[in-house]
Amino acid sequence: MSAENYHFAPSEAFARQAIAQASLYAEAKADRLGFWAKQARELYWHKPFTQTLDFSNAPFAKWFADGKLNISYNCLDRHVEAGNGDRTAIFFEGEPGDSKQLTYAELTREVKKAANALTALGIKAGDRVAIYMPMIPEAVIAMQAVARVGAVHSVIFGGFSAESLSSRIEDAEAKLVITADGGYRKGKASALKPAVDEALSAGKCASVKNVLVVRRTNQDVDWVEGRDVEWREAVGNASEEHEAQAFDAEHPLFILYTSGTTGKPKGILHTSGGYLTQAAYTHKNVFDLHAEKDIYWCTADVGWITGHSYVVYGPLANGASQVIYEGTPDIPDWGRWWSIIEKYKVSIFYTAPTAIRTFMKLGSEIPDKYNLKSIRVLGSVGEPINPEAWMWYRAHIGGGQAPIVDTWWQTETGAIMVSPLPGVTTLKPGSAQVPLPGVSAAVLDDEGHELGRGDPGLLVLTEPWPAMLRGIWGDPDRFKETYWSKFEGKYFAGDGAKWDEEGDLWLLGRVDDVMNVSGHRLSTAEIESALVSHPFVAEAAVVGAKDETTGQAIVAFVILRQNQIEAAGNDADVSKILREHVAKEIGPIAKPRTIIVVAELPKTRSGKIMRRLLRDVAEDRPIGDVTTLADTSVMDIISGKIAGGAND
Ligand code: WTA
């Protein structure tokens, strides 16, 4: 029997203690809005709401609109006031081996001090604050403090370049940047502050008044007097008294940039009450969180949506104890993650399939050396998890019995939408299974007809949900166009999917020009525009090719400007130069795996590049239908070139 056909019913022992119950589905079905209102009432509202959903100005939704709350109060103060101040909020593990713990009382105190420091720097409700940080407790403190004063954070992943940082700061007109001298990654101190200096240089990012700098590595950094501020002074000397003010449920909470199908990243906007409601509800039910005894660990960086919803907001709203690890999984060796699970007795572990496949390749001898008996629930996110990786994950990390929740969602959805519920759902490796209670999804054909079981089509969400994006920062038209125009009144996710014969959902990957590399979202257009910004490149086409470990890998086809290369000396290592150029323009995560130099690109008569054909080449498949090409001989030349040895 192949792994796809396995079914794993929940054990009776697990089901008995499970947070989620099967009755949730019926409850949500009977009264969807009432169900969400009930989940929202798990939060503390300074002013309780009376309205649940207002979708009269669709697709712009308002949830719980007449209520007021404070996000940080919900994540911190209320746990202390409930008598849980001594519970550990964060077990921090630095890559070099240093560690630190913060209780809820301590974390609350730090966030209050940081909130006072932000106010002293002139940050007011509604102001935007860019955060460019390593995975250290101060990243969480900074995000919570920004939320506490009603400002809006825009976290930019530390792996993005100065260019990317600068364009995101400018788009959001951030007033403050919070950063660190650097962080520890891959066994060394890696700098962050120089990228901020470069992003703000030469008159760029004029909106930025200050840069608040955490000392983590104690590397030398340049210092701009009057602009740069030491975190240890500004926060260190701030008062510990700070009363959280209530803001409207629809007050903006954060902007998070993500790749779309054009060269310009989209600033996905999330607001307060609905977002926190669904982040907390899903975190508790999907991971079966028993806050008083579980130790939870999500390996995502705060630079991605998973780090927002399942490190900073969901777990803290639920009063969970969690591990935060700064570095990469291979330092000092590939046993590091498992040693952390053993050390902290992690019981709930959430990571990405690409990591699991990497470990699987390295061999089970590595995790088998550690005591992972504490694990009770495993999660997966970012891309489909193939059944083989699922089985390995369960056998070697989950002790052969931990339920695995394969969670489908997006930066735009804000929180998990499709996933099994542990203790309730009979698990099926490879399938994300069913929309959560309160979530409505459908699979449509191109004309918008609903497809039944067995037919692949396009995934849509048919009803608004509390954590849904409220827009694209500064671009309401793009918001409508991207998500709401393909199918009237339905949210188009950009993913292919199908229901199987038993009514479980299988995700089939992106249907647009968005790639998924190691669970990171990247746009083909963004990388193409980075490539053509180099003088060597006349034209570029980028595709995501299947890759055994990373899910997809970036393959770039480029047409070179021969005269420029001659000018640079003919021996220039074009591949290397272009890969580095992309790293500089976007960030190392966007470096193409393979660069293939071609004389022509396959285009339709209207000039559109046929990426489908390039994907055939990149994946080493027979070339598909070429009849719509303007010049059908182009593909013979390109595939001949590959057979002759790609320029790797
Ligand atoms: C993909 C990450 C299959 C999908 C939370 C989606 C998945 C994109 C899964 C969003 C999953 C995420 N199974 N595919 N469990 N989870 N995806 O915005 O293509 O970084 O549209 O959010 O990742 O990526 P994003």
The answer to the question of residue 591 being in a domain is: yes
Instruction: Say if strands 491-499 and 457-461 run parallel, antiparallel, or are unpaired.
Output: antiparallel
pLDDT at residue 628, as a whole number:
78
Provide the Cα torsion 399, 405, 406, 407; round to 10°.
-150
Six-digit token string for 128? 């935007």
Assess contact for 638 and 623: CB atoms under 8 A.
Answer: no
d(CA 407, ligand 1 centre) in Å: 8
CA distance 303 to 297: 16
Q: Rounded mean pLDDT of 519-531? A: 91
Locate the ligand 1 atom nearest the alpha carbon of residue 412 and give its number.
18
Provide the β-strand partners of residue 350.
298, 379
Q: Which residue's CA is the closest to the ligand 1 atom numbered 4?
A: 383
pLDDT band of residue 641 (cuts 50, 70, 90) is low
> Is any atom of ligand 1 closer than 6 Å to the C-beta of 74?
no
Q: Helices marked H in 429-475 — which ranges?
A: none
- Answer whether 383 contacts ligand 1 (Cβ < 6 A): yes
DSSP states of 299-329: ---TTSHHHIIIIIIHHHHTT-EEEEE-S-T
Q: Which of 308, 521, 522, 550 to mutate to test the pocket of ligand 1 (most atoms within 8 A of CB)?
A: 521
pLDDT at 1 over 70: no
How far apart CA 410 and CA 407 sit, in angstroms, is 10
Among residues 173, 249, 185, which one has the least CA distance to residue 217? 185
In a domain, 580, yes or no: yes
611 in a domain, yes or no? Answer: yes
pLDDT in the model for residue 647: 41
Q: Does any ligand 1 atom lie closer than 6 A to the CB of residue 248? A: no
Gyration radius of the chain over CA positions: 24
Answer whether residue 462 is part of any domain.
no
Q: Taking the CB of residue 50, how many other CB atoms lie within 10 A of it?
A: 10
The values of phi and psi at residue 535, to 5°, are -60, -25
The tens digit of pLDDT for each residue in 366-392 reads: 999 999 999 999 999 999 999 999 999
Pocket lining: 510 vs ligand 1, CB cutoff 6 Å: yes
Q: Which atom of ligand 1 is nearest to the CA of 521?
A: 20
For the ranges 217-231, 344-358, 578-592, 602-616, the lowest mean pLDDT is seen at: 602-616
Find out whether the beta carbon of 326 lies less than 6 Å from any atom of ligand 1. Answer: no
The CATH number of the domain where 622 resides is what?
3.30.300.30
CA 29 to CA 36: how far, in whole Å? 11
Distances 318 to 123, 290, 381, 442, 464 between C-alpha atoms, Å: 28, 9, 20, 30, 24
Residue 305 CB less than 6 A away from ligand 1: yes
Alpha helices in 302-413 (DSSP H): 305-307, 314-317, 336-344, 353-362, 365-368, 387-392
Please compute the mean of the pLDDT values over residues 510-531 and round it to a whole number. 91
Confidence of residue 302 (pLDDT cuts 50, 70, 90): very high
The two beta strands, 594-597 and 551-560, are parallel
**537-580: per-residue pLDDT in tens?**
999 999 999 999 999 999 999 999 988 888 888 778 999 999 99
Q: Distance (Å, rounded) from C-alpha 125 to C-alpha 158?
A: 25
**In this prediction, what percent of the chain has a pLDDT beyond 90?**
87
Chain Cα centroid distance, residue 398? 24
Domain span including residue 621? 518-643
What pLDDT does 625 receive? 81
- Do β-strands 252-258 and 266-271 pair in parallel, antiparallel, or remain unpaired? antiparallel
Mean pLDDT of the region 63-89: 98
Per residue in 167-225, pLDDT (tens digit) is 999 999 999 999 999 999 999 999 999 999 999 999 999 999 999 999 999 999 999 99
Ligand 1 geometric centre to CA of 383 (Å): 5
Q: How many CA atoms lie within 13 A of 507 on its CB side?
A: 30
Structure tokens at 319: 């009063």
| Domain presence at residue 280 | no
Asked if residue 408 has its Cβ within 6 Å of ligand 1, the reply is yes
Residue 537 belongs to what H/E stretch?
A: strand 537-547
Closest alpha carbon to 107 in 87, 93, 126, 122: 87
Tell me the average pLDDT across 145-149: 99
Interacting residues of 426 by C-beta distance below 8 A, sequence separation 6+: 7, 8, 9, 10
Say yes or no to pLDDT of 588 above 80: yes
- 247-282 pLDDT, tens digit per residue, is 999 999 999 999 888 888 899 999 999 999 999 999
Please indicate, yes or no, if residue 188 is contained in any of the structural domains.
no
Q: How far is the CA of 95 from the centre of ligand 1 (A)?
A: 27
Which atom of ligand 1 is nearest to 432's Cα? 15
What SS3 string covers 293-306? CCEEEECCCCCCHH
Question: How confident is the model at residue 255, as a pLDDT?
Answer: 98
Please give the full DSSP string across 199-220, using - where no structure is assigned.
Answer: HT-TT--TT--EEEEE-SS---
The residue whose CA has the least distance to atom 10 of ligand 1 is 410
Closest CA to 28 of 334, 366, 437: 437
User: Helices 634-643 & 611-618, crossing angle to 10 degrees?
Assistant: 20
Q: Could you give the angle at the alpha carbon of 427 between the alpha carbons of 424 and 432, nearest 5°?
A: 100
SS3 113: helix
Number of domains in the chain: 1
Asked if the structure places residue 544 within a domain, the reply is: yes
**What is the per-residue pLDDT for 642?**
57
609 CA → ligand 1 middle, Å:
25
Which of these, 337, 341, 289, lies nearest to 315 by C-alpha position?
289
Between CA 339 and CA 342, with CA 341 as vertex, the angle to 5 degrees is: 65
Quick check: CB of 382 below 6 Å from ligand 1? yes
Average pLDDT of the chain to the nearest whole number: 95
Q: What is the pTM of this model?
A: 0.94
pLDDT (mean) for 15-21: 97
Does residue 162 fall inside a structural domain? Answer: no
